Amino acid sequence: MIKKDVILYNPLRLIGYETEDIIPEGGFGAVLARAGVGKTAFLVQIAISTLLRDKNVLHISLDNPVDKISLWYKEVFSHLVKQCKTDRLWESILPYRFIMTFKVEGFSVPKLEERLTDLTEQNIFSPHMLIIDGLPFDEPTRKSLPDLKALAKKHSMHVWFAVRIHRHEQQDTDGMPARFSKVSGLFDVAIQLKPEGKEIHVRSLKGSAKTVEHPALLLDPSTMMIKNSSL
């Protein structure tokens, strides 16, 4: 029952989405926030819900080493299961996760495709979900996103990005941060983590859940886990 209970925690379901993957194969999702607000923790919660369904997640980090990302997964998982004895469950999901690092200046779509090809052609790892954490959404990155989307469709992947925005960044008429609004048309889902006082609010900027009524959600600053604001 523990595995079933943890799957039900899926943060996307808490936000109001009804399906598990949310974005289609080849689709893009984004978690937007200022530095240090909780983008990686949020993405790891999405990843763990995918791992628990026995689907492969490739987590690419351009900011942190493998051991730090691994620690994020272990800490988030421990908060999910709390005091239950789940060593076997933890061990059972690890084969479905692969962490890869790049230097920011060394990341490109051709290099990513080369590494993916190495993994898939040797039957080492074939990802269902791809997480890209730490990619700067500057002009060169924005120009490469159509090629990245084509690669995602080729490999039938669902792709999630951590998008760093700034405190006083301008917004468009839909409330989308300017840095992201230029490429928002390529994305199926966009979720913003917005600090307000001592609370971090979870806002749906784009996607079907934007029109669905659901309880206001917060990111707990002490655990970086999603919680209902009324609790």
pTM (2 decimals)?
0.89
Helices (H), 34-138: 39-51, 66-81, 87-93, 109-121
Q: How far is CA 62 from CA 7, 101, 103, 121, 148, in A?
A: 28, 6, 6, 24, 16
**Number of domain units in the chain:** 1
- Domain range holding 56? 2-228
Which CATH number goes with the domain that contains 112? Answer: 3.40.50.300
Rounded to an integer, what distance in angstroms lies between the CA atom of residue 230 and that of residue 189?
25
- Contact between 38 and 224 under an 8 Å Cβ cutoff? The reply is yes
Q: What's the pLDDT at 220?
A: 82
Output the pLDDT for position 119. Answer: 94
From first to last of its 231 residues, the chain has per-residue pLDDT tens of 466 666 656 666 666 565 667 888 999 999 999 988 989 999 998 898 889 889 999 999 998 999 999 999 999 888 877 745 566 888 889 999 999 999 888 899 999 999 999 999 999 999 999 999 999 888 888 899 999 999 999 999 999 999 998 877 777 767 788 878 889 999 999 999 988 888 898 888 888 655 455 557 788 888 888 776 555
First to last CA, the chain: 24
Compute the radius of gyration of the chain from its Cα atoms: 17
Look at residue 5 in the predicted model and tell me its pLDDT: 62
Looking at residue 225, its pLDDT comes to 82
Sheet containing strand 158-164, strands side by side: 97-101, 57-61, 129-133, 158-164, 28-33, 189-196, 199-206, 217-219, 226-228
Looking at residue 87, the DSSP 8-state letter turns out to be: H
Residue with token string 């492969």: 56
